[in-house]
Amino acid sequence: MPRRHLAQTPARTQREPMTTATAEAMADGSGVTGVLITRLLHTVLLAWLFGSAPVYGAPPLADVHVHYKWSQKEVTAAQQAIRILRDNDIALAVVIGTPAEYALELARLAPQTIIPIWSPYREPADWSRWPYDRKVLERARTALAGGEYRGIGELHLIGGFTPDWRTPVISGLLELAHQYRVPLLLHTELSNTGYVIELCSAYPEVRILWAHAGAILSATQVREVMATCPNVSAELSARDPWRFINNPITASDGNLKPAWRSLIETYPDRFMVGSDPVWPVEQLDSWDQADTGWQEYRRFIDFHRNWLAQLRPELAEQIRLGNARRLFAAPSQ
């Protein structure tokens, strides 16, 4: 999709709190009129809370954390997924397929937008057993050698399921990322930074994209990793009011918290945004329930557009698009 040259979205202005009485007065109505007013109220409430209603023709954005899974395909066809990206002015989308071939399916429909990365996951339980499957390395090497995949991930390393990063499969994938000069999307959910710092320090030549900026870690802990490992960039998908909520990046009014603003301003060329369109959040690849994350896509992206609009225009553009384009540029570029 061609890049659009549009004015910077203005920062949100201060709003007076919406009281219950006001909301009830707005919703007063009956029959068809009542239904229409109720729907309008719902839209107004969302716009008030997150800064702005969805805007057509918003500045182009790179979404560096997109899933297209077997549990999503049954409710969101590939053509529909591409349409959702275009409707949200997504100029670049890094797609993780489960199985990996699903990312290629999207790439064939929109090769200028989709960047497919190779995932070891083929079925629900793979997110926890991939580090123990020696065949993962063989499949990864074959996939990367084919030239269609431009990264590796998402690799989950979660407390209670995480083996030593020196084990053959984890270290082997890091070595393949170095050999093929592709980024590696790493998801960690650990209460301290020691594991990540050891791993990124041992592979300083590997470009690591840290999913959800550590997911559950504070801005201070994320800063420690960024300061220690210059090869680590962080993306802020799912750091929204609905998913990783223990250390939010924004306050309840949608404003970026000072600690996170300071961190982003310290490392302006190493932060990115993403949607991670997985929903419902409490579901973990259930066989008997479809994943409707793509139907929630707009609110995930609008959350990021809101806080990005609070930054200096040049900084917002870096995080919104420039950093991702640089990280996922083809090796020849």
Is the pLDDT confidence value at 14 over 60?
no
E-only strand ranges, 224-297: 232-235, 271-272
Q: Which amino acid is at 168?
A: P
Residue 121 and residue 98 in contact, taking contact as beta carbons nearer than 8 Å: yes
Q: Report which listed range, 54-63, 147-156, 286-295, is most confident.
A: 147-156
Give the H or E element holding residue 251: none
Is the pLDDT confidence value at 143 over 50?
yes
- Split at pLDDT 50, 70, 90, the class of 36 is very low
* Range 192-214 average pLDDT: 97
The CATH label, of 3.30.365.10, 3.20.20.140, 2.40.50.140, 2.60.290.11, for the domain at 61-327 is 3.20.20.140
Task: Output the pLDDT for position 176.
Answer: 98
271 contact partners, CB below 8 Å, separation of at least 6: 213, 233, 234, 235, 236, 264, 318, 319, 323
Is the pLDDT confidence value at 156 over 80?
yes
* Range 199-221 average pLDDT: 98
Residue 174's nearest CA partner among 182, 188, 109 is: 182
The per-residue pLDDT of the chain, averaged, comes to 85
- Split at pLDDT 50, 70, 90, the class of 285 is low
Question: Residue 138, by phi and psi: left (phi above 0), alpha (psi -120 to 50) or beta?
Answer: alpha
For residues 272 and 44, the model is more confident at 272
* Range 212-218 average pLDDT: 97
For residues 274 and 38, the model is more confident at 274
pLDDT in tens, 74-94: 999 999 999 999 999 999 999
Is pTM beyond 0.85 here? no
DSSP three-state, residue 114: strand
Q: Any bridge partners for residue 97, and if so which? A: 68
Task: Output the pLDDT for position 332.
Answer: 62
For residues 183 and 53, the model is more confident at 183
- Split at pLDDT 50, 70, 90, the class of 127 is confident
* Range 172-199 average pLDDT: 97
* Rounded Cα–Cα distance for residues 284 and 34 (Å): 37
Domain spans, the chain: 20-50, 61-327
